[in-house]
Amino acid sequence: MKSYDFDFEMQVRDYELDTQGVVNNSVYQNYLEHARHQFLKELGLNFNELHTNGVDAVVHKIELEYKRPLMGDDIFTVRSVIRRQGHVRYIFEQDIYRSQDNELMLKGIVTTVFMNDGRPIRPPAEVVDALELYRNKT
């Protein structure tokens, strides 16, 4: 099994279901984003504080591969691997597993960049340092 940097457990809420009784495809992006924000908190960083300091972490590209649908009340885990690509990008490989049977439900690749005043910038030292410290702890 793939090694992950961060796991975050969640539960499907009834208002996330579509007419067919499964999680609406657009909701999965919310799950992945929430897990990324929680990962930043685990690193000791805060998404909103970064913005206040003039640094925005933004999504550049998302690739999703739906394997099986999540249903109402399912408990699931978003498992994330993060890697740096080039000077300004971080790639999050984020997979969603249903907790009851560890079934892979979704594979996602999210490319993010850091921006300042609408221009890509190198990741701030505090982000790079926090990630390095986190990896050395685990």
- Residues designated as active site: 18
User: Which positions ≥6 away from 82 have C-beta within 8 Å?
Assistant: 5, 6, 39, 90, 91, 92, 93, 131
| DSSP notation for the chain | ----SEEEEEE--GGGB-TTSBB-TTHHHHHHHHHHHHHHHHTT--HHHHHHTT-EEEEEEEEEEE-S--BTT-EEEEEEEEEEETTTEEEEEEEEEETTTTEEEEEEEEEEEEEETTEEEPPPHHHHHHHHHHHHH-
